[in-house]
Structure 1
Amino acid sequence: MASVGIIDYGMGNLHSLGKALERVAGGTRVVISYDPETLLKCDRLVLPGVGGVRECMRELQRLELNQLVIEAARKKPMLGICLGMQVMLEWSDENGGVPALGLFPGKVTRFPDPPETGALDRLKVPHMGWNRVRQTRQHPIWDGVPDDAWFYFVHSYHAEPACADHVLGTSDYTKTFACALARDNLVAFQFHPEKSQNTGMTLLANFVQWDP
């Protein structure tokens, strides 16, 4: 039986993500694990997460999962979600700077703080809520997902990929930023598809069926 593994390193709501994947997986088994051997046996992997890149990298290294992710990224379909997307880049500016996994060239930087004075409806950091996502190029992960669809975000930092060809979608919050990346067998979203109703379920279903 085909299987999709959710990488459990202690950061993220794995229950809701697991349930969402089970809803769209069909005959694919969903496995949540921190065991490298178990995860390497899965046909595809999901790297989720909420929090900061420094803590994420520390836990991945402690559990010896950082090398698993790098190794699996060479040959398996892999999906990064929220913090899981950010840690796929080379570097994060938070806490004075921290190196990440380097699966996409580029860095992660914080949204600028809004001015202390201004309109009551000024944008605030962190960015929390629903935003439209513009699809910047075609990809099987977008099948059945309309352009400018709404997705749910929770984040203070955002990706600045070094290669424009890796950008799959953008959104706007204080600035236009890359919220979806893809290359080869990797795809990543800053937003939470598991919290984004039917459009998010479509994305997860597309990932389960994706054959890069």
Structure 2
Amino acid sequence: MLDNTVVTTWVIMGVLLLFTWLLSRRLRIKPGKVQTAVEGIVVSIEEAIADIAPQHARRLVPFIGSLWIFLVIANLSGLVPGVHSPTRDLSATSALAIVVFLSTHWYGIRFQSLKKYLIHYIKPSPILLPFHLIAEVTRTVALAIRLFGNMMSLEMAALMFLMVAGFLAPVPILMLHIVEALVQAYLFGMLALIYVAGGLQYQQERQRKGDSNA
């Protein structure tokens, strides 16, 4: 069913793909204003990732960076008249949370191995296996519901405020929406980064132990 959420999501993805394709065809040694701005965004994202997972910053930039950029645009799309932010739909936030869930395990298995990655679920004791599995499910559900709840409440609060105050105070509402949309995009992306980094933590611990034994 092609509802507002599906259409808006595909439009955002199409615009991002078109923009990156056009930009990649016009890269210059001496960048212009657009290329400079994009490079600044990429560097900022890479530095933020390096603070959490310094050994895997470059590997995680494509996923975490794409997630951050998509969320910023998706959250702000609600400012366009007649358009609802996709992230106010639980199905959209659930899909994003599932992508984060799968990516966490994919990165962990890719940089270790299936056997070595699964071992950390029974560390330090096999008794903790059920608790690890429950934590995987609950944090994924919480990730989806947190973004959905915050964006839904934000749009509802803005609508109620406009109904009460009319259009006498549009600027404060607009600024509130922008700030909250950026904050929610940052938090979701940061939590995704922490989860993925957690999947790589076991490998890093093994490397540190190997270096210390050497």
- Structure with a larger share of its residues in strand: 1
TM over 0.5: no
Structure of greater relative contact order (alpha carbons < 8 Å, 6+ residues apart): 2
What TM-score results when the alignment is normalised by the length of structure 2? 0.23
Give TM-score scaled by structure 1 length: 0.23
Q: Which structure carries more helix by proportion?
A: 2
